Structure 1
Amino acid sequence: MISRHLSVVVPGITADAVYRFAGDPDNLPRWAAGLASGVRRDGELLVVDSPMGKVTVRFAESNAFGILDHEVRLPDGTAVDNPLRVLSHPLGAEVVFTVRQRDLSDEDFDTDCAAVQADLDRLRGLLVE
């Protein structure tokens, strides 16, 4: 299985501030268009309207390490683990998302990676406005 690490540097913003913004479920529709256009809570789960249909998302518990790993459960029940980290960077913060190819064709994997990169770029744009 191929993995691709995608990242953006968010200049002038601390890693903690990026972590708090990106980890707030209410902000997901603002920057994670590839995942969520609408979010509602169901206990610990987030139920989101996504391009794939209704999916549930469970984030790692709040932590001091910048870990925003999350499990996305697709409409067919498949669970996809998504490593997401916010790291300190000399210019501010860096957000790193690992995309795994799983059972996707090479073309679909490239499309998925492009969507994730667009989400990361959107996140940076919201924070650096």
Structure 2
Amino acid sequence: MRSRHISTVIPAPASEVYAFAAEPSNLPRWAAGLAQSAVQMRGDELIASSPMGEVVVRFVPRNEFGVLDHAVELPTGTIVTNPLRVLAHPDGSEVIFTVRQIELTDDEFERDCDMVAADLGRLRDIFSGARDAPGA
């Protein structure tokens, strides 16, 4: 099984990026690979309509370390654990997502990596002066 770390630097403090990314209602604004429309909360679980169908997402509790790891239960019942970090960076913050090739062909893995890169790009754009930036 291969893993790939995908990252982007965002011109905003890590605490702000973390707070935005950790808010479930913000997921459709930047994480289209996970949530294509408004998400529903069921206790601590997040229910989202994704490109794969309906998924159940369980994030680690909010923390001061920038950890946004989450487990995604796919429609097939497979659970994929996704490491996601928001780190301080000299230019603001860096968001790092680890994609793992679990039950994916090489082409599917590349597609997933491209989707994650696009998601992180949308998150970066939100904090790069885009009109829908937090607080704008």
Output the TM-score relative to the length of structure 2.
0.92
Which residue number corresponds to residue 80 of structure 1? 80
Task: Indicate the structure with greater strand content.
Answer: 1
What is the total number of aligned residue pairs between the two structures?
A: 128
* Unmatched segments (≥5 aa) in structure 2: 130-136
Any idea what SS the aligned residue of 2:127 has?
Answer: helix
Percent identity over the alignment is 58
CA–CA distance in structure 2, aligned partners of residues 28 and 127 of structure 1: 14
Which residue number corresponds to residue 50 of structure 1? 50
Deviations 1:12-61 (A, max 9, x none): x1000000000100000000001101200001100001111110001010
Output the TM-score relative to the length of structure 1.
0.97
Which residue number corresponds to residue 16 of structure 2? 17
CA–CA distance in structure 1, aligned partners of residues 57 and 117 of structure 2: 19
The AA in structure 1 aligned to 2:16 is: A
Which residue number corresponds to residue 92 of structure 2? 92
Deviations 1:50-102 (A, max 9, x none): 11111000101010000000000001111000000000000000000000011
Kindly report the root-mean-square deviation, in angstroms, between the aligned alpha carbons of the 2 structures: 0.6
| Runs of 4+ deviating beyond 6 Å | none
Which residue number corresponds to residue 134 of structure 2? none
CA–CA distance in structure 1, aligned partners of residues 87 and 74 of structure 2: 28
